[in-house]
Structure 1
Amino acid sequence: MQDNPLFSLAGRRALVTGASRGIGLTLARGLGQFGAKIVLNGRNSEPLATARDMLAGEGLDVTTAAFDVTDQDAVIAGVENIEYEQGPIDILINNAGIQRRAPLDQFSRADWDALISTNLNAVFFVGQAVARHMLPRGRGKIVNICSVQSELARPGIAPYTATKGAVKNLTKGMATDWARHGLQINGLAPGYFKTEMNEKLVADQVFTQWLCQRTPAGRWGNVEELVGAAVFLSSDASSFVNGHVIMVDGGITASV
C-alpha cells in the first residue's frame, strides 16, 4: 500500500497562483510533498523568491513565474513561458484572491472591480490559458479555490460572495466543456481558516466565539487541513470526479 500511486504526484508539474503566502503557499508545499514539481505564481518577484527558497530548503522541486493573473495578455505569455521553458503544466491550483469588506450600500466601484478582476476574471484567464495546452494532451487537473461564501453570505462581503459563487459555477462550466477531453476541473472551498486575510476576524473574540458556536467542529480551520483535498483533486484518485466543489469547512455548510 505504501507504493500505491493513487495519490502520487511524482513527475507532475503544478502551477499555483497567489502562492507567495497563505493558502497558496500551503497548497504548493503540500503538493510538493506528494512529489509534484511546483511553480509558484504571484505579481511580485521578491516574495515569490522568498517562498521558493523556503520550499527548496525543505527539499522540494520549486520554481517561480511572476505575472499578473488579472492581465490576460500577461497570463497567456506567462503560461506559454512555463510550458516551453519548464515543461507541461499538469495541475493548476487557481488560488489568487482578495477580500474587500464594507456595507453593501457604501461599497465602492473600485473595490467591486478589484474583486471581480482578481477573484473571477483571473480564474477564467489562467484556467483558459492552461487548458489550451492540456486539451491537446488529453489530460490535466484544474482546482479552483472557491469558498464557504460560494454557498453562504454574511454582512459586509456581498460582492466577495458574488465572485465566489461565480467561481463555483465557472468550475461546473469548465468541467462541462472540458471533461470529455480528459480534464478534471473541480473546486476546493475553504471555510473559516486562520490566514493573513482573516487576521482581524481571528483577533475578534466576539466573531471567533460566534464562529466556534456556528461551526460543528467548534474551531477555526488550520490551512494544512486543506492539503488532503487538494492532493485528492490533483491526483489519479479523482479521475472520475468532475465539476464538484469539496467543502472543507468543519461542517458549517451542513448545519443551521
Structure 2
Amino acid sequence: METEHYRVEEELLGRTPRRVARVGNLVSGMAGVGCMQLFILPFIAVGVGMLLFSIGGTLVAAGGSDMPGSVTARRDTSDSDGNSYKVDFTYRRGDDLYSGSSNVSSDDYQRLEPGSNVTVQALSWAPSILPAVREASESRNKSLIFFWGFSILWNALISVFVWAIFVWPIIARRLIADGTPVAARLIEKKADSSDDSTTYTLLYEFAPEMGFAEPVKGKMTVTREQWESVASGDVLTALYIPLRPHWSVLYKFADYRAAAD
C-alpha cells in the first residue's frame, strides 16, 4: 500500500491507554445516547420477560411434579381478536395450598368445569411459578412453541439495537484509547437509499501488524458530508485491536478523539 503522503495523527503516537474525548458537544452527545438507551430499555425488558416465561414453562412441562388440584372457575373473554379461555384452579403440595390459572383451548374449557379434579404440573422447588393443568397440556405446549418462536425473533431484533446503542460505543471508545493505528485504504463508497433516507458507508482495508496473510476489511457508516469528503483510494488512519482486528474504526470519522497530553 503506497502511503508516502500519509502520516499517523500525532496524538495517536503516544502511549496507551490514550485519554479520550468525545467529538462535538459532550453534553448533547451523552444526552442523545442516554435517551436512546432509555427508549430501548422497555423493549429489552419485554424480550427478557418472554424468554424467562418460555424457559420457565419448558421447565414445568419437562420436569414439573404432579400435584392434586381442582378447577375453581372458568373465564371466557372476547375481544377483537376472538375468544380466549382460562381456567382458575387450586392445588396442593404437602400441606400448602396454591392457586393458579392457565389459558386453555375451547375444548378444554368445555371439559374443565368448576369442581373438576385435575392434575397440576409445577416445579417442586418453586410450585407457585407457572403451574399448568396437565389435562390441558396440548394447549400449554402450543403456547410454549409460540412464545419460544416469538421471543427468539424479538430478542434477535432487539440485539441489533443493543449492539449499536450499548455495546458498540464501548468498543469505539476502547479503539480510540487502546487501538493500534494503521494505514487503511478506502476501497469503496456506498450510498444505499430507501424511501425516506440514505445510508452512507465507507469500505476500507488494512494490513494488521502480524498474523494475517490477507488485508482485513472494515466498513463504517458516516454522514453525507463525511462521505463526500473522501474518495476511493484515499489512505486514512484506522484503529484496531490486535486480538480482534475485525473491530476497527476510521479515526477521522470516529465519535471520539484522542486527547493531546
Q: TM-score range by the shorter chain?
A: under 0.3
Question: What is the TM-score with the length of structure 2 in the denominator?
Answer: 0.20
**More helix per residue: 1 or 2?**
1
Structure with max Cα Rg: 2
**More strand per residue: 1 or 2?**
2
Question: What is the TM-score with the length of structure 1 in the denominator?
Answer: 0.20
